[in-house]
Every structure is written in structure tokens, then in C-alpha cells.
Structure 1
């Protein structure tokens, strides 16, 4: 048997392994990779705003009408609660009674005033989450889903499904935590998905509601000022922390069409500016060439059909469970050329070992016939 030189065989095997480069096109289109203002031609630019980042999009078509630093990653503050609601609404029975833990009751920041008594329905907690921005309600809902860690895993999985790849959730409330991030583009994706859910839409558009208390009830109101001020406002969510500054996700309907506006990192009073951006969106939709697009969610994974197990000569190595694989953000998940080559060499080396072993076996069988 003629032996093939190791280097030649390894080179041949490496060439047969495709190197899957990380995507270089920003989600939604090339123009959305800009850190500056991206606007269509043939129409006056959107009104000025102090927001560092924003997106104006058409809900029905998914067209991005204008944007500024749409994929810039910033702290989302309470706008992250849109992802919490979108993730947990399908998972939790809205009539289920919840007994909040002391950890939930004692959450810092904005709270609706929960107690540790089992007097709250999941429905009540979602209203507290999306209307009054209750951080205590966010934690109570996360715990009702099984645990905080499970909820964070579910939220990040939902973000990946939506292709909201700038989003890394570390808290269910949006309270600042190292490594947590989102973008104006991602918040628009999340809002668009949420608005297709009737319960999500109902929670964000409710102005006032009765909320349970140990002896009676009290009234809570929606923090979104534009529900009272802007014609056609559906709602969604605002947020603020000293590190994140102001953020807002809003949607309004006029003439049978809905426009979404998201802003991030605004250092002042943003309500009037949001109104102006929405007005511009209604004037522009249907009349301009889109600068990008809100992408559709990824399809649900089909169940894997069982296949006959291959015959192996050594112990099988099982893959780690999906829940143990860490979720990486875009920067961390980008493969370098050297990483891809190493992957090819490892795979090539495994095939090389198999080929060499096969050759050795053939030589032995031939030798036994002599």
C-alpha cells in the first residue's frame, strides 16, 4: 500500500472543510451599519434629536425609513422589559396566582409595591411591568417562569430568534448590569414582534388599572406620557437610568398604518422629539426608498429525525446540553481566519487518523494472507 504524505493528506482534507465566515452585512441592510444619520433622498431629513441612536420604521412592511447609529449598543434601561414581556407572555398562564419572593419585593429602582402575599395574578404583574415599569414585577415574573437564570436564558434565546443580535439581557427589569446591551434596531424588532401579540398590545396601551393590595386595591397608571398626548399612540415602553440615560420605544397608528420609533441614550426630555419623529415617519412612509428593513424572526427549528448511530472504535463523546453553551454577542461570536483554520485542522486531523488507521488495517489483512 502506498502511503500518502501526511502534509499532503492534511492539506487535502482541510480544503474540503468549508470555512463559514461571520456575516459582515449588518442585520437589516448595509446602510444600517453606519454610526451616523441614514436618511432617504428626496425628502427633508428627520427632525433633530438629542438621542444618540434612533430608528423610524414602518410596522406593516418592516421598512426602516431613517436611522441614526441603529446598531450602536447601549444600555437599554426599562425598554428591555419589552423583551421580558414578549418572552414570558406565551409561557405563563395569565390567571396563575403568584407569591412574590422577598428578593422580588426588594428590587431596587422603580417598583409597583409588591408584597410577599399570593394575591397577584400573572396578568396583574404584566400590567405592573409594562405600565408602571415595576422592577419588582419583573423579578416576580422571572421567578414564576421557573427561576431567574432560566428566564435570562429564555430572553436571550428569544433575542437570537428575532435576530436581535445586539441584545444581551442580564436582568429582566433592565436595571444596569455589565455586559447588558441592546440597540435602537433591536428594540424596533422586539416591539414589532410584541405588537403582533394581543396581550402584549393590551398591556402597553392600558392607561390606568386597578392593582391588588393586601386589603383592597390601588390604581396604577402608564408611564408612557404619549398615550395621553399623541394621536393614535398605541404605547410600548420608556426607560431611564443614570448610566443608560433616556430610552423609548413607541408605536402609533394613523390612517390604518403604524410607525415605530425607538430612541436610545437621550440626556433630557425626549417626549416632544419622539412626537416629531413619529410625524416625520407618517409623512415619509410609502413615499421614500427604505434605508433598511426590520428582518423577520428565524424559523422555529424542526425536530431532528433519529438516524442510525455510526460504528465507532472508541468511546462516544456527547455534546454539552444547549443550555450550557454560552450565548455570545456579535463581537465575541465573530470568527477570525485563524480560528477557522484551527477548526479545519482539528476536523482534518480526525479524518486523517481514520484514513491512516484504515490503511494500517488493510496492510494487516493483506499480510495475514501471505
Structure 2
């Protein structure tokens, strides 16, 4: 009887391979291969989408999930306040909208856009959601995060929700969308998150509200929705716009006409985009049902898939249909974040420890066997 002792390099390679497989990211572009490139992807046989200065955009049928056209759909960019759509989608089901809270001084002191929360005033959670989605209140975002159990818990919840929705380009670092290293989203993910939000009546009500009374230390004042298309575009439901100097302008919105809903998301736009978004929406309504889709907004992952270990099972739409033109070779964009590097380093260290333990055990077993054989010869 004998025992083969593997070299430590083989043991470590084996363990590392297993660990990598258990945490695998999608190996193909979510929603279809055609969405993996950086250029314009549009159907043939219909007029081309209007030109846009946005670096990235998606036009999709929210009813069917069909992506009608896209440009750099999975390009990862700073989302600015469009990330508040994920904050709302995550927290609306978790928080009682009638609950009353008094915000902390920390929440009231958040930088950037604010609704003007006061630590002396009590607010309903519903007031905070209106402030979040109408006035883009960073103070409201932090107050909601604290109501949910704190910033760390809320960020964990938001990132878990992004994974459930298969918004794998999205990494949330703040509840408000204020720029932070490693934070990202994509036009595809923004459309995916907005579509999920539209299925929630409260989310839909908040984004559709044009003006509302908001509590103040003495009485109330009126807040208005920052989405200008609620006043300008026929059938506009709303959703969210955002801007920072690094992110530039971003927007995700939805409109309904003739019983059909189109969603448009744009990222990294250099300036005034309202007219361009209106034209993209018009184009979406004009071609829906008449052209082959270039991809699909996927459904959320089932609970069983989220709980089970192993590689992410990402249902991918088929590659672009024969009636689809792609203006640039598909090269899935990547974002190398510090968080990802840290995770890889942690896995490698864990693998070395496990591999070393296995090697020590095998050496000890071989030593014991040799000792027993030596005794039997005496």
C-alpha cells in the first residue's frame, strides 16, 4: 500500500480553480452577444436610431424586455443620481412607507443635491422616497439608508439586489450616486433596474409625481420633479436623471403610448439631453414590433440560483438576429476595481492556506505509513 503525495503547486492550483469557479462572473454579455460591443447595435430593415451624444445608451420595450437598439450597452460608467433607482427598488419593499423618522445630522449634512431635511422635523418614509426620486435628495438617500439599518447594510442590500436583477455591471458604493471609486453602472443595467421599478406601484407613483408638499419645521413647502420630460413628453412616466462633473449627464426614463412602454437609458452625455431622449423614445415607439431585437432585458434570478454555489447561471439572449447590424466588433468592456482586486487577493490567500493544509496532511499520512512499514520488518 502506498500514498501518492502531490506537489504543493498542484494542490494550490486545484483549490484555486475550485474557488474561482464558485464565484464565476457571467462569461457572455447579459442579454445577448450583440450587446457586448462598444459600437451601435441596431436592427436592419427600419430607420436608424437618432444620433445621440451619449457615450452609451439602450432603447428597450419594457413590456417584452426586447432591446431595440443599443450603444456600448455594458460599458461601465459613473451613474451619478441614476443610481437612486437601485436605492428605491431595493428599499421600497423593505421599509414601511407610513413609518415616521427623524433624520440624523449626518443625513441632513450630505453634500450635493438635497431636499433640505432638518433634524428637527419628523418625516414619513414615503416623504423621503418622494424627495429621493423627485428632488434627487442626497440627504433623503442617507436618511433612508440609516432607516434601513445603516449605510453598510444598505450598500450590501443594494448590491445583492443588483445581482438578483442580473445588473452585473452595477457596483453601488453610495445610496445617493455621489461619485466614489469603484462605483459603476451601465445603460443596460439602468434599463433593467428601471423596468423592475416600474413593476412596483409605489415606485411608479413616486417617479410620476410632478409636484408635492414636503414637510418643513413649520408647515411645508413644495418640491418639483427634476425630470423635465414629465412636462414635455406625451406619455412620460418618469424615472431618474443624474449629473456630476466626473459622470457627466445620465438619465433613465420610461413612457407609455398606446398601451406600450418604452424605456431609454443614457450615460456620460456631455450636455443638454432632453430633446435627444425624446427622439430616442419616439424611435422606440415607431419600431417596436416591426424589427428584430438586438438583445433582451433579462429576468431576475430565481431565489434558488442565488442561494446555490457555483458559477452564475446567466440566461443569455441569442446572438443578434440575422436582421441586426453591429457597427463595431463585440468586445465586452471590463472594469478593474479595487474591490475586485481585493476579492481576488483574498481568494488567493485562502487557496494557499487550504493547499498548505492539504499538503501537510498528506505528508503526515505518508510519514505514518512509512513508520508502520518499518515496524513490520523488525
Q: TM-score range by the shorter chain?
A: 0.7 to 0.9
Structure 2 CA distance for partners of 1:14 and 1:178, relative to 1, 3 Å: closer
Structure 2 CA distance for partners of 1:275 and 1:357, relative to 1, 3 Å: same
Q: Which moved more, 1:356-365 or 1:81-90?
A: 356-365
Residue in structure 1 matched with residue 68 of structure 2 by the alignment: 65
Alignment of 1:1-370 (within 5 A): 1-4=1-4, 6-7=6-7, 10=10, 14=14, 20=21, 22-301=25-304, 331=336, 333=340, 350-361=357-368
Could you tell me how far 1:153 is from its partner in structure 2?
2.0
Structure 2 CA distance for partners of 1:23 and 1:4, relative to 1, 3 Å: same
**Structure 2: distance between partners of 1:170 and 1:89:** 19
**Structure 1: distance between partners of 2:295 and 2:155:** 29
Partner SS, residue 237 of structure 1: strand
Structure 2 CA distance for partners of 1:49 and 1:304, relative to 1, 3 Å: closer
Could you tell me how far 1:75 is from its partner in structure 2?
1.4
Which consecutive residues of structure 1, in runs of 5 or more, have no partner in the other structure? 306-328
Could you tell me how far 1:195 is from its partner in structure 2?
0.9
The TM-score normalised by the length of structure 2 is: 0.81
Structure 2 CA distance for partners of 1:339 and 1:45, relative to 1, 3 Å: farther
Structure 2 CA distance for partners of 1:231 and 1:8, relative to 1, 3 Å: closer
Which consecutive residues of structure 2, in runs of 5 or more, have no partner in the other structure? 309-333
Structure 2 CA distance for partners of 1:22 and 1:175, relative to 1, 3 Å: closer
Could you tell me how far 1:200 is from its partner in structure 2?
0.6
Partner SS, residue 39 of structure 1: strand
**Structure 2: distance between partners of 1:105 and 1:347:** 47
Using CA pairs below 8 Å that are at least 6 residues apart, which structure has the higher relative contact order?
A: 2
Structure 2 CA distance for partners of 1:229 and 1:9, relative to 1, 3 Å: closer
The TM-score normalised by the length of structure 1 is: 0.83
Aligned Cα RMSD in Å?
Answer: 3.3
Residue in structure 1 matched with residue 322 of structure 2 by the alignment: none
**Structure 1: distance between partners of 2:17 and 2:224:** 58
Number of residues paired by the alignment? 346
**Structure 2: distance between partners of 1:236 and 1:338:** 38
Task: Please tell me whether the aligned partners of residues 9 and 352 of structure 1 are also in contact (alpha carbons under 8 angstroms).
Answer: no
